[in-house]
Amino acid sequence: MTKIYNSLVTKLTVSFILLILIVSSMTFFYTYNETKNALKERMQDELQSVAGVAATQINSTAVAALKPGDETTAAFTQIRDQLEAMRAINPDIKYIYIMRKNGEAVEFAVDADYGTDADAAKIGDLYEANSELLAGFSGLSADKEFTTDEWGTVLSGYAPIKDGSGNVVGIVGVDMASDRVIQQQEFIGNTIYVIIGISVLIAAAIVGYFVATIMRDINKLNRQAEKVSKGDMDVVVDVNRRDEVGDLAESFSRMVASIKFERMMREEEAAHKTETAPEIKS
């Protein structure tokens, strides 16, 4: 009796399942990574679009004229309220603000949270800018990766604010929290897990079925071979397949037929010798 860990059924099933798991894992990681990139790219496009539209609505002259201490002026309040109204239209926006250059430094001009959040930036507060933010002074730009600062982990988009002469007086910055993308990534990742899990189960069932049919017919041939080895030539090979196992069954049938023919010939020859042998008189 073959032990289960030496069984061909076990080896074939395990091999196929491992192959399925390897292919599924590679498919999962590739699909998940591509999906993450696609979600981030879509978010970057949306950020640039929102920032670009917002930049066209801002009074560039008022932005250029703001100076530290002007947080209570009508000009500052009007721009801040504009930014807040834009954020209210799109609830995915976490922060929206205006920055400008002061020499080589980058400083805040208007923060939409000023007056409602104690951590909001004031006019002239410096910010350590990355390359994507600086690129926003030349055209539409967005962070390549999520950035983390004192306000949280966000992805940001930027658009230049230009005056009537086309001079850039500042940029609009729009931040979206990482939570949105992370939730979408988790949903897609869980969905892919479920799909792959179901696929593995279905594939395993199909593989198990085919392996079982193969082993059923091989076991038939094995039992019939044992009968032949014990001298029983009245075996019937009832394995009908169009594969290698079927070829083996046909060869086995021809072998049994050949053995039966040879045995019959020997028996006839022996009988003939017996009939023609001369009688010994006493």
- DSSP secondary structure string, 161-175? EE-TTS-EEEEEEEE
Q: Where are the alpha helices (DSSP H) in the chain?
A: 8-57, 60-65, 74-89, 131-135, 178-229, 244-276
**50: helix, coil or strand?**
helix
pLDDT band at 109 (very low <50, low <70, confident <90, very high): very high
Least confident residue range of 26-30, 166-170, 202-206, 273-277: 273-277
Rounded CA separation 8/3 (Å): 10
Banded pLDDT at 59 (limits 50, 70, 90): very high
* pLDDT of res. 6: 60
Is residue 126 domain-shared with residue 261, that is, in the same domain?
no
Q: What is the model's pTM? A: 0.61
What is the C-alpha to C-alpha distance for residues 154 and 173, in angstroms, rounded to an integer?
12
The pLDDT of residue 105: 93
CA 104 remoteness from chain centre: 43
Pairs from 255-260 (Cβ < 8 Å, separation ≥ 24) = 256/224, 256/228, 259/228, 259/233, 260/233
Q: Which of 178, 205, 232 is the last residue of a domain?
A: 178
For residue 100, give the nearest of 155, 55, 151 by alpha carbon.
55
Same domain, 32 and 172: yes
Task: Report the number of distinct structural domains present in the chain.
Answer: 2
Residue 149 has pLDDT above 80, yes or no: no
4 pLDDT exceeds 60? no
Q: Looking at the structure, do residues 245 and 160 belong to the same domain, yes or no?
A: no
Collapsing DSSP states into helix, strand and coil, what is residue 7?
coil
Residue 152 gets the label, from left (phi > 0), alpha (psi -120 to 50) or beta, of left
Confidence of residue 256 (pLDDT cuts 50, 70, 90): confident
C-alpha 35/C-alpha 13 separation (Å) is 32
Range with lowest mean pLDDT among 38-52, 69-83, 93-107, 254-268: 254-268
Average pLDDT taken over every residue of the chain? 84
- Same-domain check for residues 174 and 194: no
Q: How confident is the model at residue 227 (pLDDT cuts 50, 70, 90)?
A: confident
Residue 282: its pLDDT value, please? 53
Instruction: Give residue 217's pLDDT band: very low, low, confident or very high (50, 70, 90).
Output: confident
Q: What is the mean pLDDT of residues 80-109?
A: 92
Mean of the pLDDT values across residues 239-259? 79
Contact 94, 175 (CB under 8 A): yes
CATH number of the domain residue 89 falls in: 3.30.450.20
Residue 12 lies in a domain: no
Domain CATH for 270: 1.10.8.500
Do 31 and 133 belong to one domain?
A: yes
Cβ density class 245-263: b for 16+ within 10 Å, e for less: beebbeebbeebeeeeeee
